[in-house]
Structure 1
């Protein structure tokens, strides 16, 4: 690689869901190639906004639908897109608290109706959860009890601090959170799988270096890291 590529970090912006995966893969890539990679993880809405407003990044990693919107608006090269991992929605309670019944759709609905407070995120899992509440006809009933985590704040932290009784978020965002117990995944009938993808930003001046890192993210050698952090290879 040219000297300037090795000396200057590639810059990656991502949503919080892929933070642990990207950080570990970036560290491994630097050890293998000598190319530093700097990962900035923020709320998905914030990440998309920063790319749209022209902040200079080499790569962006977001939920696929958000990435598609950035492509249609000309902010990323959709031809460079690589699917990175898939994440599903999990359920957590505070460490030491009794497990709730989430074995079926009716059980989840009943558990939610009994909860004093419910935490959800601004990301895809939160949108899915609110959609379920609307479909079940209980959104108005729950409105005083639902708490949206601020962008970039893990739902698990609200659970750990006792601010909500039960929390729903991508497993990858709950799996390493201290002070909580992940009691399981949403059952298949109401589960939501979100594919997170990466693409090269139009602001990059280092397309070849960015492409090489994208290939590393989507390579089979990265699968074990994705699984370790609660995601599924795609």
Structure 2
């Protein structure tokens, strides 16, 4: 039996990887064994010696691992761009976030905003509210989580707005994605995949990387809220 391909992936790709796993197994005969966490948490686990075959991280993090020789540079592929968005509990009114002024007013008027301090979206949001001059006001009422899905705090009633990568917001039932934070305020995160140099499952890992970067993966990536690089 073909050995499973062990993946350590950022949360933003959880929906896409989950929906593509069965098709990859049917085509290749190799099963995907995936674990998902924020990029910073995954880097810490890798530094601690945890093994895997394939990693899906922010492009910056993957490029750094490739430069260090931890990831095989020739195996790296950019998969998708991802934007940070805002969600509300299903049935709640959709606030105006179309412009910088509208977003600022919406954030200031919210009972509580949920965001993650560890993920790429949380790092971006921390910088954004500081740039908008509203960090103290937002953080006085914010609900922050170390990792996981911020939209779960909408379902529990702990927050009125949730901020995270759109692909992560869409994984939580009972919520509605309002839309992206105005794109002129953010640069998209780029998520990339590569094979760890220590992998002993090279052939299946490389087949998976080719599959994820191919047109076959585009519908699942797009449906999950990401913008694929592959045409």
TM-score tier (shorter):
over 0.9
Q: Distance in 1 between matches of 2:64 and 2:142?
A: 28
Question: What's the counterpart of residue 22 of structure 1?
Answer: 17
CA drift of 1:78 comes to 2.4
CA drift of 1:72 comes to 3.6
- Asked if residue 131 in structure 1 is aligned to residue 108 in structure 2, the reply is no
1:195 corresponds to which of 185, 190, 193: 190
More deviation, 173-182/219-228: 173-182
Secondary structure of the residue aligned to 2:72 is: strand
Question: What's the counterpart of residue 99 of structure 2?
Answer: 104
Residues 44-99 of structure 1, C-alpha deviations (whole Å, 9 max, x = no match) = 22211112222110000011122123234432222311111111111111122221
- Asked if residue 167 in structure 1 is aligned to residue 166 in structure 2, the reply is no
Structure 1 alignment gaps of length 5 or more: 1-5
Q: Distance in 2 between matches of 1:78 and 1:159?
A: 40
TM-score (norm: length of structure 2): 0.93
Report the RMSD for the aligned CA atoms in angstroms: 1.5
Q: Tell me if structure 2 keeps the 8 A contact 1:51–1:75.
A: no
Q: Distance in 1 between matches of 2:137 and 2:31?
A: 50
CA drift of 1:205 comes to 1.3
Q: Distance in 2 between matches of 1:211 and 1:149?
A: 34
Matches within 5 A, 1:148-227: 148-151=144-147, 153-227=148-222
Question: What's the counterpart of residue 66 of structure 1?
Answer: 61
Q: Distance in 2 between matches of 1:233 and 1:61?
A: 14
Matched length: 228
CA drift of 1:15 comes to 1.3
Q: Tell me if structure 1 keeps the 8 A contact 2:79–2:213.
A: yes
Secondary structure of the residue aligned to 2:198 is: coil
Question: What's the counterpart of residue 42 of structure 2?
Answer: 47
CA drift of 1:19 comes to 0.8
Q: Distance in 2 between matches of 1:46 and 1:186?
A: 25
Structure 2 alignment gaps of length 5 or more: none
Q: Tell me if structure 2 keeps the 8 A contact 1:156–1:177.
A: yes
CA drift of 1:194 comes to 0.9
Residues 13-46 of structure 1, C-alpha deviations (whole Å, 9 max, x = no match) = 1111101111222221101121112111123222
CA drift of 1:228 comes to 1.1
Q: Distance in 1 between matches of 2:160 and 2:187?
A: 22
Q: Tell me if structure 2 keeps the 8 A contact 1:54–1:203.
A: no
